[in-house]
Amino acid sequence: MTIFHIGFLKFGWLDLIDVVIVAFLFYRLLLLMKGTRSVQIVVGLFLLFFISFLAFWFQLEGLKWLITNIATVGILVLVIVFQPELRSALAQIGHNKLFRLFFRYEKEKTIDELVKTAIRLSQLRYGGLMVIGREIGLKNFIETGKPINAEISSDLLVTIFTPYTPLHDGAAIIQGDFVVAVACTLPLTQNPLYSQLFGMRHKAAIGVTEESDAIVIVVSEETGEISIAFKGVLHKNIDKTNLKETLTKMAKSG
């Protein structure tokens, strides 16, 4: 179906979709490059394209020969130069919620790293507070802490929660397989059942699960006990051998 027709130019719905997709891709590309060294490179490329246009328009044979030869290796050069940006773009596409509707993501690694972290913190008697984000966003809590956006690992989390380090006080928020922020402030539960029984970490763990569907692992600094808060309820003294199974069941539940 044609939207409009001017002389030899026909513009239909497929053309409109094509233009919208290309515009969106360019928009996302510009967002990725914003604030990076790639901006200057893109400006240089546009200048080169403009010179190429002039060369072919005015039939400047020498310049056409030079540009044609540069173009043969240009794609390879661009891939090398833009490698960090391309890697970041592919990672963002892979983590996009739209693609998660079609591809089932394996949570095994994230859960394994969290289990290792909780057990290690328990052995060391280091306090820990780890929030596992799910469907409900945690942006308000993330903004209270320090963004790090690092791939999750037990070594990283144990280091963060080591006493007297700058970021040990507060919660680490995990989304997917990334630790997105640390030293985050969480709301304390107002439930009278817990007001006299637990320390600040436990109250914060319960509090955030009252306002979201997050799962929170909390390790007591005093006893080394591992607890899990979920849906406003604190499950105390989780056995280390059952910790992974418990987390997996909660992650799969609605």
Taking only the tens place, the pLDDT of each residue in 178-235 is 999 999 999 998 888 887 766 789 999 999 999 999 999 999 999 999 999 999 999 9
Show Cβ contacts of residue 182 under 8 Å, excluding neighbours closer than 6 positions: 145, 146, 148, 160, 167, 170, 171, 172, 173
pLDDT at 103 over 50: no
Under 8 Å between Cβ of 218 and 201: yes
Beta bridge partners of 227: 218
Is there a single domain that holds both residue 22 and residue 122? no
Question: Which of 77, 100, 123 delimits the end of a domain?
Answer: 100
Model confidence at 162, pLDDT cuts 50, 70, 90, reads very high
Is there a single domain that holds both residue 95 and residue 151? no
Is there a single domain that holds both residue 148 and residue 201? yes
Q: CA 197, CA 206: separation in Å to the nearest integer?
A: 12
Is there a single domain that holds both residue 70 and residue 136? no
Is there a single domain that holds both residue 159 and residue 69? no
Question: Could you tell me which residue, 9 or 48, shows the higher pLDDT?
Answer: 48
pLDDT digit string (tens) for 118-152? 999 999 999 999 999 988 889 899 999 999 999 99
pLDDT of res. 32: 60
Q: CA 128, CA 125: separation in Å to the nearest integer?
A: 9
Mean pLDDT over the full length of the chain: 81
Q: CA 140, CA 210: separation in Å to the nearest integer?
A: 14
Q: CA 227, CA 100: separation in Å to the nearest integer?
A: 30
Can you give the residue range of the structural domain that contains 30?
Answer: 2-100
pLDDT at 85 over 60: no
Domain count, the chain: 2
Is there a single domain that holds both residue 149 and residue 85? no
If one counts every other C-beta atom within 10 angstroms of the C-beta of residue 199, the result is 12
pLDDT at 13 over 90: no
If one counts every other C-beta atom within 10 angstroms of the C-beta of residue 99, the result is 11
pLDDT at 104 over 60: no
Question: Which of 67, 100, 133 delimits the end of a domain?
Answer: 100
Total number of residues shown for the chain:
254
Question: Could you tell me which residue, 223 or 79, shows the higher pLDDT?
Answer: 223
